[in-house]
Structure 1
Amino acid sequence: QIEISQYQQGQPLQQFQSAIRLLNRDRQSPQVFKEVRAMLMKLDFLLRQDEQYIYIQDARKLSLRGLFIMAKKPASELLITIPHPSSERLASDAAGLLFSY
């Protein structure tokens, strides 16, 4: 049985997952990008992009949830996670090296 508080806690995660699924359908589409940006703004995430990557950054100042980087044209299905705090130099450097593959 699911209680209301559990449902409310899980809802932002489901909304985040929905935004990522939509983005994964077409990472090149300006319309999709605009729609996903609006979805993520409601969850206090910023969505940015450059020529190669899409960046999803936590807009909260306290209780940070992370930074997510997606390749616009991924070469593999590899997912890399960096443990918090990301200021740990060794973990950040290792993730950066893996990301280039």
Structure 2
Amino acid sequence: MQPFEDEQEAAQSEKVFASQWHIVALAVLSALFCISGIVMTFLSEQATARNLILISLGILAINAGFQWQQGLKARALNHLYSAMIVVLLMMSYHMH
């Protein structure tokens, strides 16, 4: 699910991730919130799960901005695309 080719950014992304610790930390934090949201879904805590996933998406969007600023434009666009898909799925699920 990556419509934007980011293979040419691989070498640059390694350098960015090595020097910009906040980008890696935000990615880990976003993943932890997302995993927590998924666990809460299985525990039938839908409101909490939705909030955790939305926090995860917010962190992901902020991180995409940092990546864009560091020149990792395709990677940032892929993250924003993924976030948009998740939001659309959540909206679709909520309407049913």
TM-score (norm 1): 0.37
- Which structure has the highest strand share of the two? 1
- Which structure has the highest helix share of the two? 2
Task: Pick 1 or 2: higher relative contact order, CA cutoff 8 A, min separation 6.
Answer: 2
